Amino acid sequence: MKLRPFRLITVALTMWTAHANAQIVSTLEEFDDAVRNIQAGDELVMANGVWRDVELKFIGNGTAQEKISLRAEQPGKVVISGQSKLTS
């Protein structure tokens, strides 16, 4: 399998206006904890840096009016690399 690093912005994760319920995560454990507790209208923000060899499962129950969003802290500053996977 050929490994290809990719930027979150390329994965079509959309930048959203900051929400009152925004939570910044910087480790896989923090990401997993946040996803377990995420609710409609919340925003999960991945901290700048390289996320290497991580399996990210982004699952939640948003609504048409209150979406759940995932974004990079800063465009182009979050990189998922190695044998990583992002699923929803």
For 33-82, what is each residue's pLDDT tens digit?
Answer: 999 999 999 999 999 999 999 999 999 899 999 999 999 999 999 999 99
Distance CA 52, CA 21 (A): 26
18 or 51: which leads in pLDDT? 51
β-bridge mates for residue 7, sequence order = 79
pLDDT of residue 36: 95
pLDDT of residue 17: 45
pTM, entire model: 0.75
β-bridge mates for residue 24, sequence order = 45
pLDDT of residue 21: 81
* pLDDT > 90? residue 16: no
Distance CA 6, CA 71 (A): 14
